[in-house]
């Protein structure tokens, strides 16, 4: 069920923006038609003079959003700061478009209704907040602030009565909630816009020039922790390939900076050799005559260059070496 409900998927792997479910390409609009996809696989770089629009070759994506959805994506956002209100002179936030799912609420309508709209807003703390609007603004809310210039993962869920947003896996507290959550989204086919403002641009509305990656939309609600975790940690293949739901990917990080303290843990004298067991597993064998000789005439000089303590009757060299 989870995989069959996947309706829209962009991996942003090549400069041809390929939507995996409809198997169609999105169009590049604006004055610059060159798409920037870094070879490092770090998503699509949004630009001032460009936006993406997809319509599944004109038919609209058959997303069939009845009353629920799960929308997820990675975003490395930018913060262009504040501007000054032209009239009052007060500092003011800048709004940047990000995503717009424009659907036909009534199939006979033209594609004109913004069913899900996502924009970013700068704030006074030099952070960004995300504003998500449903059904032409019948409801909207702001997320908590997040730091720009870092990759963040967004997981937005609506189940027909409850709306929630997770940032980096953790549920955010919504603010400025306005309007009522729509009982039904009632939309079947959609055009999808990335980085395009239908209402135009102004001193306080600017193009987005952050990065976006691994964008997906389900037409069901999913708030399962384990799914959120696997999408964040294991990448989009977890939802794009049903095999990943049974393929486990366990990692074990092993950290082993070499020991910088050599401790003598045992001593055996068999009258021919002295054997020292040390904490890194080695056994040192030495001549008792040589060691005795060194012990007799050393000390004042050598002791000054090592940091040693006596522990359980044994010499512990904390920082230094003994040459045998």
Partner 1 sequence: MADFKFYLTSLEPNLSQSIYSQSIGGYCSNSLLYRETTLSSNVGLYDTSFTLNTPQAESWIGWENVFYININNEIIELSALESGTATAIQRGSNGIINFHLAGDVVRASNAAELFNNVVNNEYKQYRCLAVKNTPIDDPSDSEIANDVQVYLKQNSRNDESNIRIAIERPSSKYLTSISTNRTILTLTDTSLSGVYLDDYFNGTYLMVSGENGVGFISDFDGSSGTFTFSSSFSTVTTNKVYEVFPASAQRLKTGTDAPVNSDYITDFSYTNSVNRLSLSDTTNVSNSSDADVLTNDLFYIWVERTLQKGSASFDNNDFVIVLIYDTSG
Residue ranges binding partner 1 (CB under 8 A) = 147, 150-153, 167-170, 225-226, 228-229, 232-233, 246-259, 279-282
> Residue 277 CB, nearest distance to partner 1 (Å)?
9
Q: Which is nearer to partner 1, 162 or 233 (CB)?
A: 233
- Rounded Cα distance between 195 and 120, Å, is 10
CA nearest neighbour of 20 among 32, 12, 30, 29:
12
Q: Which two tokens stand for residue 85?
A: 């209100």
Q: Which is nearer to partner 1, 33 or 261 (CB)?
A: 261
> Residue 305 CB, nearest distance to partner 1 (Å)?
19
- Rounded Cα distance between 216 and 153, Å, is 12
Q: Which two tokens stand for residue 321?
A: 């070496």
Q: Which is nearer to partner 1, 33 or 249 (CB)?
A: 249
> Residue 5 CB, nearest distance to partner 1 (Å)?
20
- Rounded Cα distance between 25 and 210, Å, is 21
Q: Which residue has the tokens 């955010």?
A: 172
> Residue 261 CB, nearest distance to partner 1 (Å)?
10
Residues with Cβ < 8 Å from 229, sequence gap 6 or more? 169
Q: Which is nearer to partner 1, 224 or 269 (CB)?
A: 224
Q: Which is nearer to partner 1, 115 or 157 (CB)?
A: 157
- Rounded Cα distance between 232 and 253, Å, is 18
> Residue 153 CB, nearest distance to partner 1 (Å)?
7
* CA dihedral sign, ordered 38, 44, 46, 47: positive
């Amino acid at each position: 069920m989870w995989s069959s409900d996947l309706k829209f998927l962009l991996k942003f792997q090549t400069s041809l923006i390929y939507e995996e479910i409809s198997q169609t390409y999105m169009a590049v609009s604006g004055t610059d038609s060159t798409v920037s996809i870094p070879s490092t696989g770090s998503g699509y770089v949004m630009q001032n003079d460009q936006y993406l629009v997809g319509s599944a070759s004109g038919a609209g994506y058959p997303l069939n959003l009845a009353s629920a959805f799960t929308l997820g994506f990675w975003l490395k956002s930018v913060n262009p700061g504040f501007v000054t209100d032209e009239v009052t002179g007060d500092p003011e936030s800048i709004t940047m478009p990000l995503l717009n799912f424009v659907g036909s609420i009534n199939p006979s309508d033209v594609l004109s209704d913004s069913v899900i709209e996502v924009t970013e807003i700068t704030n006074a703390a030099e952070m960004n907040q995300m504003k998500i609007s449903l059904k032409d603004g019948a409801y909207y809310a702001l997320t908590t602030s997040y730091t720009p210039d870092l990759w963040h993962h967004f997981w937005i869920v609506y189940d027909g009565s409850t709306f929630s947003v997770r940032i980096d896996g953790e549920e955010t507290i919504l603010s400025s909630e306005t309007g009522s959550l729509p009982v039904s989204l009632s939309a079947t086919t959609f055009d999808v816009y990335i980085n395009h403002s239908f209402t135009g641009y102004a001193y306080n509305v600017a193009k987005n020039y952050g990065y976006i990656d691994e964008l997906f939309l389900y037409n069901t609600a999913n708030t399962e922790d384990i799914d959120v975790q696997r999408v964040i940690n294991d990448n989009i293949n977890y939802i794009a390939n049903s095999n990943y739901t049974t393929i486990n990917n366990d990692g074990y990080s092993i950290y082993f900076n070499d020991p910088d303290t050599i401790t003598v843990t045992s001593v055996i004298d068999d009258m021919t050799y002295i054997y020292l067991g040390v904490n890194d597993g080695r056994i040192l064998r030495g001549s008792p005559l040589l060691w005795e000789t060194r012990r007799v005439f050393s000390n004042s000089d050598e002791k000054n260059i090592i940091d040693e303590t006596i522990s359980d009757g044994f010499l512990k060299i904390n920082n230094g070496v003994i040459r045998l």
